[in-house]
Structure 1
Amino acid sequence: MGLSKGQKKRLYGNNIEAKTTIAPPAETAHKARTQSVRHDSVEANPESGKSFMFAGVAFVIAVLLMLYYYLWVLPEMSERAGTTISELKFWFDQQHALAVNQGLGRDMLVQYQYIHRSSGLIFPLIFAGAWVAMISASQFAKTVSRLMMAVPVLWALVFILGNFVLDAALANPATGPVGVAALLVAVRWVLFIACWAQLGWMAVRLVQGKIDAFSRGELKGQQPIR
């Protein structure tokens, strides 16, 4: 025969009530564990921070090479040729290729070809690598990520191939592949603009993500918003 409620109270005192009040409801405990796990998973992700750091370093190097190539090397070639060098124009024709050929002369054309095999080869590879690293660090969906990575990779391929075709066109404007070189340079500019459009989208997405995380109290070192 079991004890009555009054007998239990006289026998155990207030221990039963204390135990009852100390133990939190299951729903409250589950909610607290969920918030803790969620908060920790946001902060304890060092790989994401390393990815962004690597992408940032690669981006700085790529921008410096871009400035060197477009603001130093090619303008100097334009000055030597007495006209805007072909790859700085969005489109050019046979007459312009002939003007560059005559303005540079044989020796400077050889030097221009060497530029395409040195800084003109290193720059697009590092630029494409930096863009791929930034896209990877942004953690897009797999399909979206692959489509976005295809843009800088294709730009690098068109850039390098276009330089070799351009060398052939400028070496012999009369019978060289001037039209193909002009087309590759135009495609290069379109893809280059698309790369910077991607960067703008990634920047907006990153800022929006930080704002959303702040509103939820999930930023590192931030107190959770109650």
Structure 2
Amino acid sequence: MAKSQKKKKKYNRPAAATAPINPSTQRTPEKAAGNASLILIAGLVVTLFLFGYFHLLVLNQMEDLSNGLTMPDQMIGGYSVEHVEALRQAMDADAAGQLNYVHKTAGLLFPLFLALITMLAVNINTARGSVRWILWVPPMAFAVVDLWENRAIDALFIGALDPAAVSLASTLTTTRWMLLFATAAILFGVLIAAFVRTFREKWELSKRGLL
């Protein structure tokens, strides 16, 4: 006798509940650009603060420890063996250690922040291609030369004074200042160009009544 087969009831599983999409959480190009702009503004403020702290405050205060002699970092046109020798005689071990500490703190952070912020500004406001890479070269070179210069200057206060070491440090200081001016020109040039472009776009939209 054949067994009767019971038909199995088919149950439709309820669809998994999906959370409603919140449009405000979606990442749009406008939001991404806005976030990058906020980071850029904050970084620019920090960079300006570090420049003022390092060059206008700390290095000027170091002159109190060197009988009024200017720190090598501040001498755009470079310096001579005689100047470094006078610094070595005026600054004791504690003063030289203080200069080394400054180089490891503000002297380290300032070039890194300036290079990164400049490269970010270029990245946001220029199209991909050779122009972007060309504009990235000065800030990257500035950071490398600045950090190299810090080490070269610190080495001048250790051991016997080597004229070749003074010449190298002096060349690095002059090169650093040239790259600093170039980097600052790129940074503010890109920001001003972006501001003018945005202003023109909004002006055209307002003339058409779209704003």
Superposed displacement of residue 218, structure 1: 7.0
Name the counterpart of 2:167: 179
Superposed displacement of residue 172, structure 1: 4.5
Q: Which has the larger radius of gyration?
A: 1
Report the TM-score when normalising by structure 2: 0.78
CA contact (8 A) 1:97 1:173 kept: no
Name the counterpart of 2:100: 113
Of residues 95-104 and 138-147 in structure 1, the stretch that sits farther from structure 2 once superposed is: 138-147
Of residues 137-146 and 152-161 in structure 1, the stretch that sits farther from structure 2 once superposed is: 137-146
> Is the helix fraction higher in 1 or 2?
1
Of the three residues 199, 205, 208, the one matched with 1:217 is: 205
Contiguous gaps of at least 5 residues in structure 1: 1-42
Of the three residues 59, 62, 78, the one matched with 1:77 is: 62
Superposed displacement of residue 119, structure 1: 2.0
Superposed displacement of residue 173, structure 1: 6.3
Superposed displacement of residue 105, structure 1: 1.5
Report the TM-score when normalising by structure 1: 0.73
Name the counterpart of 1:22: none
CA contact (8 A) 1:80 1:104 kept: yes
CA contact (8 A) 2:146 2:176 kept: yes
Residues 152-171 of structure 1 correspond to what in structure 2 (within 5 A)?
152-171=139-158
Give RMSD over aligned pairs: 2.2
CA contact (8 A) 1:135 1:145 kept: yes
Contiguous gaps of at least 5 residues in structure 2: 1-27
Change (3 A) 1:114 1:212: same
* Letter in structure 2 aligned against 1:85: M
Tell me how many residue pairs correspond in the alignment.
Answer: 181
CA contact (8 A) 1:97 1:169 kept: yes
Superposed displacement of residue 170, structure 1: 3.3
Deviations 1:71-125 (A, max 9, x none): 1110111221121111100110100011111111222112211221222112211
Deviations 1:112-140 (A, max 9, x none): 11221222112211221111111112133
CA contact (8 A) 2:121 2:191 kept: no
Output the CA distance in 1 between the equivalents of 2:188 and 2:148. 27
